[in-house]
Amino acid sequence: MKKDEFSLTSLVSAFGRAYHSQFDTPKIFNDYLAKDLISQKELNDIKENIVQGIHFFNKDIAQKFKEDTDEILKWITQIQLSPTPLARAAFCEQVLLHEVMLGLKQYVILGAGLDTFCFRHPELNNSLEIFEIDYPATQEFKKKMLEIADFKIPSNLHFVSMDFAKKFSYQNLLDERFDNKKTFFSLLGVSYYLTKEEISSLIDHLFAIVPPGSSIVFDYADENLFKEKGVSNRVENMVKMASASGEPMKSCFSYVEIEKMLEKLGLLIYEHLTPANINELYFKNRNDYLSAFETIHYVHAVKN
């Protein structure tokens, strides 16, 4: 992504969360504010582009629902776009809120995009400092949408502009009142686009000045990423779309590799969810197209 362009990925992710909140039952993750950060024009453009892409995703579905654009939109959103953003957000916030109960005071969101956690939890305004890290253009776009939606930015929300994938700088955080106390990091939807060395270096930098007990939730692709096709070829489609967009997927790990990397960095895996675990936890007994994405795992790791 060019540094003067906001993240289209964050907009599509927000669309998936908004769609789920408005139309899907039961809820995996209810981001009822996501729709407020997407303009009507952007919403219409996203819907149109998704529906027009059906032949890329599945020619049989294109033929089956050729007269029903609402069903095409639902199929692509639930099969391809929503499963991972919804389930990883549900897992991350479950862990985060448990940490808050244990006295957590700082939350750092890497690649925050159009995240709405701060606005969905105003009860934490006086107890949890939230630092959203993203590209300057993405943050300016978000601030503009917050202003249009008449959202007041609370004093505990700090925007930190940074291309953390290339170089992570604690100075940017320290300038926003970050302190070297127990911290929770979320790194969602990022690891696939970095090399293994870049991921290791980033996590190493993240935990350089925070105390033991600090932790991170992140998702990663397993060693089958470039071999697995997935339901309706969705894993293969995900890899192809990333490459076509100019942000190719670069890394995948075995569980042993993840464990060894984290151990070397002084972190222990506290919780690890496989696709089967994720499906059981978040997608069980549904009557729609939603199911856990193949090859994608979630990790909660804690600093020793």
Q: Indicate if the alpha-carbon torsion angle 240, 92, 287, 34 is positive or negative.
A: negative
Residue 189 has pLDDT above 50, yes or no: yes
Mean pLDDT of 153-160: 97
Q: pLDDT tens digits, residue range 119-141?
A: 999 999 999 999 999 999 999 99
| Residue 300 main-chain phi, psi, to 5 deg | -115, 115
**7/141 Cα distance (integer angstroms):** 9
**Is 248 a residue whose pLDDT tops 90?**
yes
Instruction: Kindly state the percentage of the chain with pLDDT values over 90.
Output: 94
Please, are residues 214 and 184 in contact by the beta-carbon 8 Å criterion? yes
Query: Could you tell me the pLDDT band of residue 7, with boundaries at 50, 70 and 90?
Result: confident
Average pLDDT over residues 246-274: 97
pLDDT of the residue at 246: 85
What sign for the dihedral angle of Cα 73, 236, 299, 113? negative
Q: Are 91 and 273 in contact (CB under 8 A)?
A: yes
| Non-local CB neighbours of 5 within 8 Å, separated by 6+ positions | 137
Residue 4 has pLDDT above 60, yes or no: no
Domains of the chain, CATH where assigned: 83-303 (3.40.50.150)
Pairing of strands 215-221, 296-303: antiparallel
> CA nearest 228: which of 169, 142, 297?
297
Give the per-residue pLDDT at 279: 98
Does pLDDT of 5 surpass 70?
no
Instruction: Give dist(CA 297, CA 84) in Å, integer.
Output: 10
Alpha-carbon distance values, 146 to 36, 115, 133, 188 (Å): 8, 11, 16, 22
Whole-model pTM?
Answer: 0.96
pLDDT band at 3, cuts 50/70/90? very low
- Do residues 235 and 293 touch, judged by C-beta distance below 8 A? yes
| CA pair distance 262, 271, nearest whole angstrom | 13
Q: Cβ-count burial of 150 within 10 angstroms (0-12 exposed, 13-18 middle, 19+ buried)? A: exposed
Q: What percent of the chain has pLDDT over 70?
A: 98
pLDDT tens sequence across 10-42 = 899 999 999 999 999 999 999 999 999 999 999
CB atoms within 10 A of CB 197: 9
Residue 74 pLDDT grade (very low, low, confident, very high; cuts 50, 70, 90):
very high
Cis amide prior to 248 (ω within 30 degrees): no
